[in-house]
Amino acid sequence: MFKKYQLLVWYGFSLALLLALLRWMELKYLLYEHAFELYAVFIAVVFLVLGIWLSKKLTRPKVKTAIMEKIIYRDATLPFEINQQMADELGISSREMEVLQLMAGGYSNQEIAAQLFVSPNTVKTHLARLFEKLDVGKRIQAIEKAKRLGLIP
């Protein structure tokens, strides 16, 4: 059967080889014709990869920081005493201490104002001064720092 179609197979093989040769020559012609563009693309890709690698190297933190949380339990049978010396050093008034204690109790500004018989704007002023004196920006940070300093239980 192969002998019957041998000539046809040789013609097909030679045409395929000729087509491959033409495609190779066409590719070679395209390479010569567009050599500058190909070199520019190659250089752009090299610089892109180099830039990504370099940015990852330069922006990687040199020292790994670890946040450790240490929980200190106090004896619940002993009464809590406010660290008055720390409050005096920070310049926290007694009214600001009341606001801090109510804030730590989970009260909102309106609830604190109702408890202390002042306006909500006065509570906001006290909170702003507390945040400034404790050097914090949020309520939860103020509560955490006040607990660490022994200002609230």
Mean pLDDT, the chain, rounded, equals 82
CA distance 101 to 96: 9
pLDDT band at 113 (very low <50, low <70, confident <90, very high): very high
Q: Give the CA count within 13 Å in the CB-facing half-sphere of 110.
A: 0
Percent of the chain at pLDDT > 90 equals 14
Domain ranges of the chain: 6-59, 84-149
84-149: CATH architecture: Orthogonal Bundle (1.10)
Query: pLDDT tens, 47-101?
Result: 999 998 888 888 876 666 666 666 666 666 667 777 778 888 888 888 888 898 8
Q: Which of 5-19, 110-124, 126-140 has the lowest mean pLDDT?
A: 5-19
pLDDT, position 121? 92
Rounded alpha-carbon distances, angstroms, from residue 111 to 99, 102, 119, 132, 138? 11, 9, 10, 22, 18
Among candidate residues 122, 137, 68, 135, the one with its CA nearest the CA of residue 149 = 135
Query: pLDDT tens, 29-56?
Result: 777 777 788 788 889 999 999 998 888 8
